[in-house]
A = this chain, B = another copy of it.
Amino acid sequence: MYEKKDKKTAEAKTGLTSLAELGEFGLIDRLTKNVKYYHPETLKGIGDDAAVMDAGDKVILFSTDLLVEGIHFDLTYMPLKHLGYKAAVVNISDIAAMNGIPKQMTFSLAVSSRFSAEALDELYTGVIMACEKYKVDLVGGDTSSNIKGLMISVSILGEAKKEEVCYRSGARSGDLLCVTGDLGSAYIGLLVLEREKSVFQVDPNMQPELTGFDYQIGRQLRPEARTDIRNLFIGTGISPTSMIDISDGLASEILHICKQSGVGCKLFEGKIPMDEHTRELAKEYKIIPSVAALSGGEDYELLFTVKQEDYEKIKDIAGISIIGHMTAPSEGKVMITPDGKSIPITAQGWDGMRIR
């Protein structure tokens, strides 16, 4: 939802503002500052993982995402079936992030004539597999020619009971900050794929060496959405106070919750859940492991807050990590390193990720 994943530099013309200058969220704020809402049933418009509309005892959730060839995916190593699956999952994840149930999806594509019908069969097989797994009805879309490359646009509807829906804005000082699964592997998987691509480009006879990286590559090419967490909340009686999915990286998502909730945050670096092999690989790539989690993104895990009183309910759940807590806004947004240093959390891009 209104998140610009890439920061390609705009060519600034005299007197005009380049897109890079504004930054992704600056651009969105600028473009949407005059937006008015006319319908009282629109409970939440721009600014969360999905828009929320009142529908009596429940709410309708509405979200959309673009995937652009050369920006979000590289068909050199992304099989079309996986791409279709991932495009669906990325949207389903937005509904999971609202604590909702995904229901209906439209899948649109603009495609150049270099693609055959058989290639698009593969793409749709992936979409339909995801729809089957997550029980989502593919109800429409649009197909168009494209001058160059492939572009995918997916929109999704979901629903939730009114008391269940979970915004980015509900975190309060003292709430525990929690995350599902582990982080950083999708980014390391991307690095492995990029490395093998460059090897292949130098010598097309080289076979890519992908064995031993199955987990990381799987996380990158075929992510899953955490729609299961909703049932875990129901089963354990936990009510998350805020939630967001991790598409851009832990740091960026924490800052979203802090901004929208008007709170600060204390994150403990040592508590960030990571796969052991992913940690080792990060070091091989000269990246501080936690930074792969903080800035890597695309793990599609859920980041959420719960009230302190829910500590006993949540502390022993396998696959959920308590990684910090929310603070008064005056305390800032900081990460505490294992040796006790406090460093500000910033939404750095991948440029800042190399070990200094």
> How many residues of chain A are within 8 Å of chain B by beta carbon?
94
Across the interface, A17 reaches (CB within 8 A) one of B38, B117, B143, B151, namely B117
What is the interface of chain A, defined by CB distance below 8 A to chain B?
Answer: 1-13, 16-22, 24, 27-28, 30-32, 34-39, 41-42, 44-46, 50-51, 53, 55-56, 60, 62-66, 68-72, 103-104, 106, 108-121, 124-125, 128, 131-132, 135-149, 151, 153, 155, 157
Q: Is A113 a contact partner of B20 (Cβ separation < 8 A)?
A: yes
Nearest chain B residue, comparing its CB with the CB of A125:
B34
Complex formed: what's the CA distance from A30 to B46 in Å?
Answer: 35
Q: Is B71 a contact partner of A10 (Cβ separation < 8 A)?
A: no
Q: Is A104 a contact partner of B53 (Cβ separation < 8 A)?
A: yes
Q: Is A147 a contact partner of B116 (Cβ separation < 8 A)?
A: no
Complex A-B: 25 CB contacts under 8 Å? A2-B140, A3-B143, A8-B112, A8-B113, A9-B113, A10-B114, A10-B115, A11-B113, A17-B118, A20-B113, A27-B143, A31-B124, A32-B138, A42-B139, A45-B137, A46-B140, A50-B140, A62-B106, A64-B142, A66-B108, A66-B109, A66-B110, A71-B147, A146-B151, A147-B149
Q: Is A142 a contact partner of B106 (Cβ separation < 8 A)?
A: no
Q: Is B39 a contact partner of A103 (Cβ separation < 8 A)?
A: yes
Q: Is A135 a contact partner of B38 (Cβ separation < 8 A)?
A: yes
Q: Is B30 a contact partner of A121 (Cβ separation < 8 A)?
A: yes
Q: Is A62 a contact partner of B140 (Cβ separation < 8 A)?
A: yes
Nearest chain B residue, comparing its CB with the CB of A18:
B116
Q: Is A147 a contact partner of B46 (Cβ separation < 8 A)?
A: no
Q: Is A111 a contact partner of B19 (Cβ separation < 8 A)?
A: yes
Most buried by B among A1, A120, A144: A144
Shortest distance between the CB of A208 and any CB in chain B (Å): 23
Shortest distance between the CB of A77 and any CB in chain B (Å): 18
Shortest distance between the CB of A14 and any CB in chain B (Å): 10
Chain B residues with Cβ below 8 Å from A46 are: 138-141
Q: Is A71 a contact partner of B151 (Cβ separation < 8 A)?
A: no
Complex formed: what's the CA distance from A27 to B141 in Å?
Answer: 13
Across the interface, A18 reaches (CB within 8 A) one of B38, B64, B113, namely B113
